[in-house]
């Protein structure tokens, strides 16, 4: 960096996205303060399924999905549920979601997802090496299994998008699935392995280790709540927090689902909605898996973690403030028993988190056009662990003023 005084950057939100931004900016020589109202990574980045999938390029909204919406209202323990009392509030988001699910949009969205998620391992590598935690990254593939071949055929567009993005899919019959993962019940007719995908075996541990490495290299962490910003004619001057003003030259909003209210202060009304998801982690499962597995009809993931086996997934639209409905986590457990027979379910923890979702499944990665010095990096939805490292890389490039290593136009805040 050329300037004599190091440029200071405040990163608002110490989830995995903010942490990766902070690490990349620090590597480039900025003076970085990571801010969170809580200890780092205690929100959505705490309990995700750990999936790291460069081949994750299909958006959540796919053509024909509108037909399923009535069903989503009925079963509050089903894989997709909209709380009746929340429907009116969710309607504007759902409308945009359905518009973005048209075939014409899906191909473009998929290309954008490929540009963000494709380099996930390469972008994560320098950060996990700095932190000495490369062993947490398992590049062992992901296994997708179907009870019925017919259902797998229905997912043809997803497979095509993945193939178009260069991802490898190795198709398997029932016997090959059994050979690959003997712990799975013999109920799966067909499936495929994505050998270039993988997982992190401790997402919270990884986030903590990255923060430790950031602090050891001179980064600062401040536990305080961000309320607003201060500006002069040159742009942002400070972040206003519950414990006073923090002077800064630049600020990045990485506050996950809570970015919506922070952006409102800057005049941006954005369609960010929480896809509430749940996990149960079995600490003494008595079974082992070699791959992260997706029983696709059940719409959850099963991940071999360092602390046990985690079953995570499902989508619930009920807003940010409603208390968790842990009957949904228990339903995951019931379903998992059928897939992993005899699994030990005595020592179980349960959790709920808020996936920050835009209707087109893409995050916002952009600079603020009406307030100089403010940047945005949030809304990574179901793929925040995958997309965090490349987001950190391009946010650093944006702030350094070099041309970003991917096309950022699909990620603009003004697209809605
Ligand atoms: C069940 C489930 C399974 C998932 N599985 C996967 C997976 O396998 N792979 C994958 O890639 N993704 C997965 N995800 C998604 C992923 O976890 C999220 O996309 C990601 O964690 C979002 O990270 P974030 O940093 O944007 O947000 P968060 O982790 O929510 O961090 C935001 C931070 O901002 C802080 N904050 C908010 N407001 C303020 C304020 N005013 N002042 C100060 N601090 C503030 C919060 O305290 C929080 O720490 C899953 C999610 C769920 C729920």
Tell whether 82 and 186 lie within a shared domain.
yes
C-alpha of residue 14 to centroid of ligand 1, in Å? 9
Residue 334 sits in the same domain as residue 384: no
Domain span at residue 30 reads 8-46+205-271+361-415
Asked if residue 87 is part of any domain, the answer here is yes
Residue 118 lies in a domain: no
Residue where a domain terminates, one of 318, 335, 357: 357
Residue 183: which of 305, 313, 280, 309 has the closest Cα? 309
Residue 109 forms part of a structural domain: no
Quote the pLDDT of residue 4.
60
309 and 392 belong to one structural domain = no
> Is there a single domain that holds both residue 375 and residue 346?
no
Q: Among residues 307, 402, 292, 391, which one has the least CA distance to residue 349?
A: 307
Residue 108 lies in a domain: no
Domain boundary among 357, 383, 404: 357
Domain count, the chain: 2
Residues 265 and 276 in one domain: no
Domain-embedded: residue 114: no
How far apart, in Å, are the Cα atoms of 72 and each of 68, 77, 203? 7, 10, 29
Q: Are residues 188 and 324 in the same domain?
A: yes
Q: Note whether 182 and 295 are same-domain residues.
A: yes
Report which protein residue has its CA nearest ligand 1's atom 9: 51
What is the mean pLDDT for each group of 10 consecutive residues in the chain (416 residues)?
Answer: 76 99 98 98 98 96 85 80 91 94 95 98 98 98 97 94 96 98 97 98 98 98 98 97 98 98 97 98 95 96 98 96 96 95 92 98 97 98 98 98 96 96
Last residue of a domain, one of 338, 357, 376: 357
Q: What per-residue confidence (pLDDT) applies to 76? A: 83
Q: Are residues 394 and 253 in the same domain?
A: yes
CATH of the domain at 344: 3.30.9.10
Instruction: Identify the residues whose C-beta falls under 6 Å from ligand 1.
Output: 12-18, 35-38, 42-45, 48-51, 225-226, 254-256, 258, 262, 277-279, 301, 312-313, 353, 355-356, 378, 380-386
Q: Are strands 142-146 and 292-295 parallel, antiparallel or unpaired?
A: parallel
The domain that holds 241 is classified in CATH as 3.50.50.60
Residues 291 and 389 both lie in one domain: no
Q: Are residues 95 and 177 in the same domain?
A: yes
Residue 56, in any domain of the structure: no
Ligand 1 center to residue 3 CA distance, Å? 34
| Tokens 């071949």, located at residue | 149
Closest ligand 1 atom to 381 CA: 19
- Cβ contacts of 401 within 8 Å, gap of 6 or more: none
Q: Is residue 334 part of a domain?
A: yes
Question: Which bin fits 337, alpha (ψ -120 to 50), beta or left (φ > 0)?
Answer: alpha
Tell me: do 312 and 352 sit in the same domain. Answer: yes
Residues 313 and 389 in one domain: no
Residue 113 lies in a domain: no
């Amino acid at each position: 960096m050329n300037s004599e005084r190091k440029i200071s950057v405040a990163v608002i939100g110490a989830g995995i996205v903010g942490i990766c931004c902070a690490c990349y900016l620090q590597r480039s020589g900025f003076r970085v303060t990571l801010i969170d109202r809580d200890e780092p990574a205690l929100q959505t980045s705490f309990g995700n399924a750990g999936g790291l999938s460069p081949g994750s390029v299909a958006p959540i909204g796919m053509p024909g999905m509108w037909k399923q919406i009535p069903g989503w209202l009925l079963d509050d323990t089903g894989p997709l549920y909209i709380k009746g009392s929340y429907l009116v509030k969710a309607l504007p988001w759902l409308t945009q979601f359905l518009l973005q699910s048209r075939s014409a949009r899906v191909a473009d969205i998929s290309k954008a997802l490929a540009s963000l998620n494709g380099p996930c391992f390469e972008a994560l590598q320098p950060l996990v090496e700095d932190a000495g935690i490369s062993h947490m990254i398992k590049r062992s593939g992901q296994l997708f299994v179907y009870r019925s071949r017919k259902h797998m055929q229905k997912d043809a567009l997803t497979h095509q998008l993945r193939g178009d993005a260069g991802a490898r899919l190795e198709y398997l019959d029932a016997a090959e699935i059994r050979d690959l993962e003997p712990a799975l019940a013999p109920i799966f007719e067909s499936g495929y392995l994505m050998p270039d995908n993988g997982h992190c075996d401790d997402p919270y541990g990884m986030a903590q280790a990255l923060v430790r490495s950031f602090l050891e290299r001179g980064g600062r962490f401040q536990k305080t709540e961000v309320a607003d910003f201060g500006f002069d004619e040159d742009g942002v001057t400070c972040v206003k927090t519950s414990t006073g003003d923090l002077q800064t030259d630049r600020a990045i909003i990485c506050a996950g689902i809570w970015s919506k209210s922070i952006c409102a202060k800057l005049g941006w009304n954005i369609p960010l909605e929480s896809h509430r998801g749940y996990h149960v982690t079995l600490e003494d499962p008595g079974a082992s898996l070699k791959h992260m597995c997706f029983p696709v009809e059940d719409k959850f993931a099963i991940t071999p973690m360092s602390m046990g086996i985690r079953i995570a997934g499902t989508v619930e639209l009920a807003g940010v403030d409603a208390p968790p409905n842990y009957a949904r986590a228990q339903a995951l457990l019931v379903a998992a028993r059928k897939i992993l027979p005899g699994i030990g379910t005595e020592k179980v923890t349960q959790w709920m988190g808020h996936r920050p979702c835009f209707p087109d499944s893409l995050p916002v990665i952009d600079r603020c056009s009406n307030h100089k010095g403010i940047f945005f990096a949030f809304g990574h939805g179901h793929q925040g662990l995958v997309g965090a490292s490349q987001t950190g890389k391009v946010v650093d490039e944006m702030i350094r003023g070099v041309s970003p290593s991917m096309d950022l136009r699909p990620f603009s805040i003004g697209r809605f």
